[in-house]
Amino acid sequence: MNVLDLIYPPRCPLCGEILSLREGPVHSNCYKKLSWVQEPLCKRCGKPLTPEAGETRELCMDCLRSRHRHRKSFDQGRAVWLYSGDIQKSVLDYKYKGMKGYTDFYAGAAVQKWGRWIQSKNPQLLIPVPLHARKKRIRGFNQAELLAKAIGRRMKIEVNTDILYRKRWTEPQKAVSGQERRHNLSKSMEIRHLPENLRRVMLIDDIYTTGSTMEACAGILKKNGVEEVDFLTLCIGYGSG
């Protein structure tokens, strides 16, 4: 047993209660309640679709609108769970309450769910979505960076935290329109240095909601010569819109 486990006993990432020595990284009853992302999925962002009567389609409404507006940034994305219930609280605790011990469970689940898909994409690098330096100092860490490194170790893929950075602090974007959100985020992202012959990357983050952050990150990478930008997140919203 690790001495630190006696001082700081591991907690279930879903209910927050202490795990016994005989249990794995999560309580079995909590694990059974997880809402895993299932088909049918949007072929672009990976959002679960809500089939309408008599209608089938491959893209969610957000991605359809992006296509109609000729906006092309990330190529494809996938998520592990629906952003609801216990996992929603878990990820928020991870970000805002410093529950870094949840990282291994999250990364293991991500590789279990989408390891073959990641291999099929063959990214040269994993790139965590960056936090502004001030926000990182306040929080103490970047959760996307922890996830990327844990997934990278499992998949034997290099992680680069120096390519993308946020040059502007952006306030929470929930109250602004989608167009304004995209504009604000696109102006906040910058590239420090892009390695030569970098063609395929995968962005890593915790939550996909409107897609504006992924659009901003992927957009600037593609403007600088990256040919394929995919993404993987822990959670994603449900629905066709």
- The residues pairing with 203 across neighbouring beta strands, listed in sequence order, are 127, 231
b or e along 124-157 (b: 16 or more beta carbons within 10 Å of the residue's beta carbon)?
Answer: bbbbbbbbbeeeeeeeeebbbbbbbbbbbebbeb
Query: Which residues of the chain are in CATH 3.40.50 domains?
Result: 34-236
Mean pLDDT value across the chain: 87
pLDDT of the residue at 53: 42
Question: Under 8 Å CB-to-CB from 213, ≥6 apart: which residues?
Answer: 129, 185, 205
pLDDT of the residue at 235: 98
Residue 155 vs residue 73, higher pLDDT:
155
pLDDT of the residue at 62: 82
Domain 34-236 has CATH 3.40.50: yes
Mean pLDDT, residues 141-153? 98
pLDDT of the residue at 191: 94
| Type and span of the H or E element at 241 | none
pLDDT of the residue at 22: 78
Least confident of 144-148, 178-182, 188-192, 218-222: 178-182
Mean pLDDT, residues 125-144? 94
Band of pLDDT at residue 71, cut at 50, 70 and 90 = low
| Type and span of the H or E element at 33 | none
- The residues pairing with 191 across neighbouring beta strands, listed in sequence order, are 164
pTM exceeding the 0.75 threshold for the entire prediction: yes
Band of pLDDT at residue 65, cut at 50, 70 and 90 = confident
Burial of 99 (0-12, 13-18, 19+ CB in 10 A): middle
pLDDT of the residue at 181: 59
Q: Is the pLDDT of residue 1 over 60?
A: no
